[in-house]
Amino acid sequence: MIRGMYMGAMGMLNDMFKLDMIANNLANVDTAGYKRDRAAFKTYLEGMLVSILPSIYRGRKEVPIGKLEGAVVLDEVRPDLSQGSVVYTGNPYDLAISGSGFFAIEKNGQVLFTRAGNFKRDFAGYLVTNDGGYVLDEKGSKIKIEDGWKISDDGTIRDEKGKAVAKIAIYDFTNPEKLQKVGYTYFKQTKESGKPQKALSGIMVGYIEKSNVNALREMVNMIKALRHFEISQRTITTSDQLLDRLFNSVASLR
């Protein structure tokens, strides 16, 4: 019964985290380039259950019959990097990556990576994100676009005479799911993700990649988490009632 209360409490904590994560996904359903979060759980305090059988050699024999899990806890939060829907905007500075990969952004002195390509020109002519991050070229430099310059589908920026002056960098990783999420649409390189490598993906000019959050699926997951939370809560209540009945029964025997 004590074990039942403990398992119920752990289940409620996990469900509370799921609800917070789902709420965050739903809040960013219209955020360009947002990648939904998904939780990975793990068990701990596992013990092996054995069946003790008589043996003519040692008096008894232990036969493993399975594992008994102590509890389930959150292991890590992984981003779902599946591509979101791509929509046409007609803005010459809106860019969407066709395939895998990330744009390289310099923000607050560090290089971050994103799929959000809703860019613009700032007052100095630099190609920047909505929050002021600088889009980088393949040389790791900030990209400056003058009037009349255009961005090609391969990411090359050409001047009025058609001369290539820079190329927008697109990087990929060996294990992109191991990237560390920073904010809502940025990712940071980690040891597990590997180093950034130049990707061969193309660029769609005048398009943006929307969030990959499916609102209907998230609502279904929210209902499931709420139902599981209620079941776990009922487990604690039932275990408490059984303990109360047990203690009262023991007390009445005296």
Q: Over the stretch 128-148, which tens digit does the pLDDT of each residue have? A: 999 999 999 999 999 999 998
Whole-prediction pTM = 0.78
Number of domains in the chain: 1
User: Does residue 25 lie in a domain region?
Assistant: no
User: Does residue 2 lie in a domain region?
Assistant: no
Looking at residue 209, the DSSP 8-state letter turns out to be: E
User: Does residue 58 lie in a domain region?
Assistant: no
User: Does residue 67 lie in a domain region?
Assistant: no
At residue 52, the pLDDT reads 61
Give the end-to-end CA distance of the chain in Å, rounded to a whole number: 23
| Cα separation values, 109 from 112, 115, 202, Å | 10, 19, 27
| Residue 93 · residue 83 · CB < 8 Å | no
The domain in which residue 120 lies consists of 86-209
User: Does residue 141 lie in a domain region?
Assistant: yes
At residue 167, the pLDDT reads 94
At residue 203, the pLDDT reads 93
Q: Which residues of the chain have pLDDT under 70?
A: 1-4, 6, 44-63, 65-71, 247, 250-254
| Residue 188 · residue 12 · CB < 8 Å | no
* Nearest residue to 187 (alpha-carbon basis) of 34, 38, 59: 34
* Tokens 């923000």, residue located: 107
